[in-house]
Structure 1
Amino acid sequence: MPESPIRKLVPFAEEAKERGVDVIHLNIGQPDIKTPQVALDAVRNNDVEVLSYSRTEGTDQYRKKVAAYYAKHDVKVSHKDIIVTTGGSEALAFVMGSIADAGDEVIIPEPFYANYNGFAVAAGVKVVPIVSDIEDNFALPPIEEFEKSITPRTRAILICNPGNPTGYLYTKEEIKKLSALVKKHDLFLVADEVYREFAYDGLQHYSILQEPGLEEHSIVVDSVSKRYSMCGARIGFLVTRNRAVITTALKFAQARLSPPTYAQIASEAALETPQSYFDEVIEEYTERRNILLRELSRIEGIRVARPQGAFYCMVELPVKDADEFAQWLLEKFQLDGQTVMVAPAGGFYATEGLGKNQIRIAYVLEKDRLIRAVDILKEALKQYPSA
């Protein structure tokens, strides 16, 4: 199993904190936005007397409300098309196990969410990467590159939309190109849409579940973690109209019995969150993104991709090895008692050697803290011995 590029530096961060250093975390997508009070109150005030199992696929009541949520976003699905999972992570694991056997292949544009590598390894699936580039903001690579990579063992194309770690938001036209390709070759199109709520600059998220004629080919992975700032609830979904996939994924779900009951109670209540909450969150993240891009632009020798969604930013640094730089930040560097923790981007690629001088920044901190973090990063690059 590969290490997480996001979490592998945690011991160095903990040691820095023990030395009294204030570590500003830019490494992990843990929002600081408050969880909707209605979700917290639902757990605090519930009258459960026996904390029992739920149905394996999640409670009917919750799944029906999730289906109603999708309907508001122009996605027509039944509650029977939804399996509630222990986080989006479990949904991804179920997908890998359901659509592919050991030795089969899944094509993924890179850089991609690092744990896709882990889920693939666990399922014995080979990741076939298609490189996207910071120069064009990590847009979808030419569709011809995908077609050239299709073999008899190919089972699916997997995308994250909006993207983690890139923040790129796929256009409707790009989704249609992928749709035509998977139908032509009878593949699945899997979309990790956990950041679907976060699209900026007036852009709109287009779900693969909205694409006509893709009903048997589309599988969506979703989660409450980022949408409601409920990462610790560990509630996600697998959504597909393909009955064979649902039937197969349910077997994996039965092996873990059921998703957590209290978390489903909280997540069901979270569906009552008003649109004003999301409007405020999107406005806040847009401001943070703009401030981050402005401050980063003042650092000589770096390149930055402009995120259109989610809350991540890919940055190319004037260093040879971002892993070494990130560790040095925690072990050897501080500015007035502070340092920053970043996620080296090499772990977001499957192609060996790519992303070695890139990092991912999660702009999930208050604006003043973000500005301070970039100031520290700027000074660190000046002092870094291998820069």
Structure 2
Amino acid sequence: MPKISEKGQSMPSSPVRKLVPYAEAAAARGMHIYQLNIGQPDIKTPEQAINAVKNADMEVLSYSHSAGNQSYRDKLTTYYNKNNMNLKSEDIIVSTGGSEALLFAMGSICDYGDEVIIPEPFYANYNGFAMASGITVKPISTHIENNFSLPAISEFEKLITDKTKAILICNPGNPTGYLYTQEEMDQLSALVKKHDLFLVSDEVYREFAYDGRQHLSVMSMPGLEEHAIMIDSVSKRYSMCGARIGCLVSKNKEVIATAMKFAQARLSPPSFAQIAAEAALDTPQEYFDEVISEYIERRDILIDGLKKIEGVEVANPGGAFYCVAQLPVDDTDVFAQWLLEEFELDGETIMVAPAAGFYSTPGMGKNQIRIAYVLEKESLKKSIRILDQALKAYKG
């Protein structure tokens, strides 16, 4: 029998999606499942985007430019420059989701065996992208006791070797919801300039900043023109996860020229989805005001509810729509499966994401879960009650 590659065998399973078979089996038994495991917003996609696809007048669904439609990149430039980024359209390569942009970035700046430092817990697919690219992740741990804030810069410097090529952050963070401060961003800026590294910033949750705080983009920071690479996506901003449109942004011309070779190899990003994404840029500010207000209310309901559950510790997110909760159980992988296979409360249960898959350090996050507060408020209240009762019933 032909043998599967070692790389393929080493690819990690998604901590968000690996429980799907158990959820499908529970649903087949008639169970109602509150899905807190995946960042799929229930917010409506802007009607401008939907209508643009419905009304598209074309006879041939053709390739776009490998860097993406010029009209879309021009419009993206205007959007970014309202956020003080001072970009040109040639600084942008449109990708098939933020995922492809991350793969382009890793392929452009790292060789096999090179290292990227990432504060953990981090978006689980960073592990998979690094594995696929032959890159070693060097994790630097953040802690729930400190709300997952940035570790001391001295801890970063301990990890830097001649193989280190970049520091990768997610801001605001997935899975923690942590929003980096100006001081923390300044510290990272000084560090990458000192050691001549890239600073890759995954900013797909940029719009979701709470409590009067502002998101600071790596692209708006002076002196980082040759160091900064931004990853972005329409998935969360416009509740368009299925569009699979993202982009890689950098003022470093060599990075863009190299990433273009990867873009050309996959031909072009999806044409219909670019039409939707371009139209979405006309979404009025009122849409975001309402969405952010809704997420703040959901966050407050969730965090307040979790804090009332005995033995649960939770960090308070300043952005995105996730939080990490620490539970009084030994292994949340087992607990999450048990919730779907054996527990119910009035015919309902919850699906959560075990947090160990968001770490690279073995053994970290075993008693933590990520919760996405993407459900409406009454569903969140029911989910909190289910978790409370489940923890009281759980014997593991």
TM bracket (short chain): over 0.9
Residue in structure 2 matching 1:270, options 258, 265, 280: 280
Residue in structure 2 matching 1:121, options 131, 137, 141: 131
CA-CA distance at 1:48 after TM superposition: 1.2
Q: Partner residue of 1:260?
A: 270
> 2:296 corresponds to which letter in structure 1?
T
Residues 351-376 of structure 1 deviation map (CA, whole Å, 9 limit, x = unaligned):
00000000000000000000000100
Q: What value does the CA root-mean-square deviation take over the aligned residues?
A: 0.4
- 1:26 paired to 2:36: yes
**Distance in 1 (alpha carbons) for counterparts of 2:230 and 2:155:** 23
What is the percent sequence identity of the aligned residues?
A: 68
- 1:249 paired to 2:259: yes
- 1:327 paired to 2:337: yes
Q: Partner residue of 1:101?
A: 111
> 1:324 corresponds to which letter in structure 2?
V
**Distance in 2 (alpha carbons) for counterparts of 1:294 and 1:137:** 15
Residue in structure 2 matching 1:80, options 67, 87, 90: 90
Runs (4+) of structure 1 moved beyond 4 Å? none
Q: Partner residue of 2:69?
A: 59
- 1:215 paired to 2:209: no
Alignment of 1:200-239 (within 5 A): 200-239=210-249
Residues 200-240 of structure 1 deviation map (CA, whole Å, 9 limit, x = unaligned):
00000001111101000000000000000000000000000
> 2:69 corresponds to which letter in structure 1?
T
Q: Partner residue of 1:187?
A: 197
CA-CA distance at 1:294 after TM superposition: 1.2
**Distance in 2 (alpha carbons) for counterparts of 1:253 and 1:112:** 25
CA-CA distance at 1:288 after TM superposition: 0.2
Residue in structure 2 matching 1:364, options 374, 378, 383: 374
> 1:243 corresponds to which letter in structure 2?
K
- 1:135 paired to 2:169: no
CA-CA distance at 1:42 after TM superposition: 0.1
Q: Partner residue of 1:173?
A: 183
**Distance in 1 (alpha carbons) for counterparts of 2:390 and 2:84:** 47
**Distance in 2 (alpha carbons) for counterparts of 1:76 and 1:18:** 52
Residue in structure 2 matching 1:10, options 6, 20, 32: 20
Alignment of 1:348-363 (within 5 A): 348-363=358-373
**Distance in 2 (alpha carbons) for counterparts of 1:310 and 1:275:** 17
Q: Partner residue of 2:355?
A: 345
Residues 251-273 of structure 1 deviation map (CA, whole Å, 9 limit, x = unaligned):
11111100000000000000000
SS in 1 for 2:177: coil
Residues 323-351 of structure 1 deviation map (CA, whole Å, 9 limit, x = unaligned):
00000000111111000000000000000
- 1:293 paired to 2:303: yes
CA-CA distance at 1:128 after TM superposition: 0.1
- 1:382 paired to 2:385: no
Q: What TM-score results when the alignment is normalised by the length of structure 2?
A: 0.97
**Distance in 2 (alpha carbons) for counterparts of 1:122 and 1:163:** 22
CA-CA distance at 1:173 after TM superposition: 0.9
**Distance in 2 (alpha carbons) for counterparts of 1:298 and 1:22:** 24
SS in 2 for 1:219: strand
**Distance in 2 (alpha carbons) for counterparts of 1:10 and 1:374:** 21
CA-CA distance at 1:49 after TM superposition: 1.1
CA-CA distance at 1:197 after TM superposition: 0.3
SS in 2 for 1:280: helix
SS in 2 for 1:201: coil
**Distance in 2 (alpha carbons) for counterparts of 1:127 and 1:297:** 33
**Distance in 2 (alpha carbons) for counterparts of 1:120 and 1:293:** 32
SS in 2 for 1:158: strand
Q: How many residues align?
A: 386
> 2:45 corresponds to which letter in structure 1?
T
> 1:217 corresponds to which letter in structure 2?
H
CA-CA distance at 1:182 after TM superposition: 0.4
CA-CA distance at 1:46 after TM superposition: 1.1
CA-CA distance at 1:74 after TM superposition: 1.1
SS in 1 for 2:295: helix
SS in 2 for 1:50: coil
- 1:151 paired to 2:161: yes
Residues 155-177 of structure 1 deviation map (CA, whole Å, 9 limit, x = unaligned):
00000000000000001110110
Q: Partner residue of 2:5?
A: none
CA-CA distance at 1:82 after TM superposition: 0.1
**Distance in 2 (alpha carbons) for counterparts of 1:10 and 1:141:** 34
SS in 2 for 1:48: coil
**Distance in 2 (alpha carbons) for counterparts of 1:302 and 1:197:** 29
Residues 263-290 of structure 1 deviation map (CA, whole Å, 9 limit, x = unaligned):
0000000000000000000000000000
Q: What TM-score results when the alignment is normalised by the length of structure 1?
A: 0.99
Q: Which runs of 5+ in 1 are unaligned?
A: none
> 2:342 corresponds to which letter in structure 1?
K
Query: Which range moves more in the overlay, 337-346 or 294-303?
Result: 294-303
